[in-house]
Amino acid sequence: MSLTCQQLLQTYGQQWQEATVHPFLAQCKTGEIQPVQFNTWLIQDYLYVVEFTRLAARLLAAAPVQHFDVLLGGMNALKDELNWFRDKAAERKLDLTTPKQPTCAEYCDFMNHLPTMTYPVQATAFWAIELSYNQGWQLPGAMPEPYTEFADRWGNPGFTAYVKLLEQQSDEGLRSASESEQQQAEAAFLEVARLEKAFWQMAYEG
């Protein structure tokens, strides 16, 4: 029996909750988050998305042709997202040349290593990364200004539908994966969960 994304979510529910439910997000909703904390997260998230864009390109290179449409749609959205980050940084007078913090660097190193794995492993990790943003910003519910547009960007129904398509593609890859590949995909999922939790926490440590 092949591994599925839903099995990962059910088996590791606690780890996934810690990755997607965090005081950072709760305090964005209540307005208690300090501007310096949010700005720390925003800068590091931009640096992260730069490397995530490279990961998306490498995933496309490994993907079967029938998966191209979904992945190309995601890459087109990333172009808009990078420009949006730059606009937000300019509004807040933030320096996007700030060095990566250790947590961000560790996450980027993980993404840079993923292309050495087979497509089912890469696809599972890619889905988990996108799902973590989707659920992280969606689960708290409506966010007050100035955080509304951040929640809308990653919690909107269109992004949710895209993540569901990524799940279907990941499941398709896992159906033909070897036992070793499934174990590697499981490990990659857990690493995403660990790193996501640490990334939210980084806002308080920068």
Residue 204 reports pLDDT greater than 90: yes
Mean pLDDT along residues 14-18: 98
Q: Of 81, 56, 82, 58, give the one whose Cα is nearest residue 71.
A: 56
Residue 22 reports pLDDT greater than 80: yes
Residue 206 reports pLDDT greater than 90: no
Q: Which structural domain, as residue segments, surrounds residue 63? A: 5-202
pLDDT in tens, 23-43: 999 999 999 999 999 999 999
Where residue 205 falls among pLDDT bands split at 50, 70, 90?
A: confident
Distance, CA of 83 to CA of 108 (rounded, Å): 20
Where residue 17 sits, what CATH number does that domain have? 1.20.910.10
Domains identified in the chain, total number: 1
pLDDT in tens, 146-167: 999 999 999 999 999 999 999 9
Residue 49 reports pLDDT greater than 70: yes
Percent with pLDDT over 70 in the chain: 99
Averaged confidence pLDDT in the chain: 96
Distance, CA of 15 to CA of 35 (rounded, Å): 28
Mean pLDDT along residues 111-134: 98
Distance, CA of 134 to CA of 201 (rounded, Å): 18
Mean pLDDT along residues 67-90: 96
* Alpha helices, DSSP H, located in the chain: 5-11, 13-20, 23-30, 35-62, 68-92, 102-113, 119-138, 148-155, 157-175, 179-202
Mean pLDDT along residues 90-105: 97
